[in-house]
Amino acid sequence: MACSTAALCASGAPGRPPPGVIRVCQLHQSPGCRRRPMIRTHARYSFGFAVATAIMLLVGLSILLATRQIRADNRWITHSREVIEHLARVRAELLEGIAAQRSYLLTGDRSFRVQHDNVRPAIRQDLATLTALTMDAPQAASIRELAALIELRLDTTSEVIRLYESNGLPAVQERLRSADLRTLMARIEQLQLQIQNEQQTLLLQRIAVSRRNTGVVLALATLGIPLSLSIVWAIYALLRREVRQRKAAQARADTLNHELAQSVARLEQAGNDLADLGHYVSLLLGCQDLGEALDVTRYTLLKLLPGAAGAVYLLSPSQDHAELAIGWGQAPAEARGLMMPSDCWALRRAQPHFVDNLHGETACQHFEPPPHDAHIASACLPLSAQAVSLGVLVLFADGPGPIPRIEIAAAVAEQLSLALGNLRLQEKLRLQSIRDALSGLYNRRYLEESLPRELARCQRREKPLALLMLDLDHFKVFNDTHGHTGGDTLIAAFGRLLLAHCRPEDIACRYGGEEFTLILPEVDEDTALQRAEEIRTAAMRMTITFDNRSLAGTSLSIGLAMYPHHAHDSAGLERLADAALYQAKRNGRNRIEVAATV
Residues 225, 103, single domain; the answer is yes
335 occurs within a structural domain: yes
Query: What does pTM read for this prediction?
Result: 0.44
The whole-number pLDDT of residue 569 equals: 92
Instruction: Decide if 210 is inside a domain.
Output: yes
97 and 213 together in one domain? yes
Please say whether the beta carbons of 447 and 511 come within 8 A: yes
Do 239 and 384 belong to one domain? no
Q: What is the pLDDT tens value at each position of the chain, 598 positions in all? A: 444 444 434 444 444 444 444 444 444 445 555 556 545 544 544 555 565 566 677 777 777 777 787 788 788 788 788 888 888 888 888 888 888 878 887 887 888 888 888 888 888 888 888 888 877 777 778 888 888 888 888 888 887 888 787 887 777 777 676 657 778 778 888 888 888 888 788 888 888 888 887 887 777 667 766 666 676 677 677 778 888 888 999 999 999 998 898 888 878 877 887 888 888 888 888 887 888 888 888 888 888 888 788 889 888 888 888 888 888 877 666 667 788 888 888 888 888 988 887 776 677 877 777 767 677 888 889 988 877 888 889 888 877 777 888 888 888 888 888 888 788 877 777 777 788 888 889 999 899 999 999 999 999 999 999 999 999 988 888 888 888 888 888 899 999 999 999 999 999 999 988 999 999 999 999 999 999 999 999 999 988 887 777 777 789 999 999 999 999 999 999 999 999 999 999 999 999 999 987 6
Total domains in the fold of the chain: 4
Residues in the chain: 598
From CA 516, how far away is CA 438, in angstroms rounded? 13
301 domain-assigned: no
| Domain span holding position 464 | 435-594
Tell whether 414 is covered by a domain. Answer: no
Cβ neighbours of residue 381 closer than 8 Å, sequence gap 6 or more = 346, 352, 392, 393, 394, 395, 409, 410, 413
Sign of the dihedral defined by the CA atoms of residues 397, 402, 407, 413, in that order: positive
Do 158 and 195 have their domain in common? Answer: yes
d(CA 573, CA 564): 9
- The answer on 333 and 230 residing in a single domain is no
**Residues 88 and 221 both lie in one domain:** yes
| Measured CA angle at 420 (ends 415, 424), to 5 deg | 150
Tell me which amino acid residue 389 is. Answer: S
354 contacts 334 by C-beta, under 8 angstroms: no
Instruction: Answer yes or no: is 561 within a domain.
Output: yes
282 domain residue, yes or no: no
Sign of CA dihedral 273, 274, 275, 278: positive
| 313 and 258 part of one domain | no
Do 254 and 133 belong together in one domain? yes
Q: What angle do CA 573, 579, 581 make, to 5 degrees?
A: 100
Same domain, yes or no: 177 and 202: yes
Is 285 inside a domain boundary?
Answer: no
424, part of any domain: no
**What is the rounded CA–CA span in Å between residue 318 and residue 388?**
12
- Measured CA distances, 68 to 214, 223, 387 (Å): 11, 20, 71
Look up the CATH number of the domain holding residue 536. Answer: 3.30.70.270
Distance CA 447, CA 511 (A): 8
Q: Does 260 lie in the same domain as 368? A: no
CA 179 to chain centre: 27
C-alpha dihedral (63, 69, 73, 78), degrees to nearest 10: 80
Residues 513 and 546 in one domain: yes
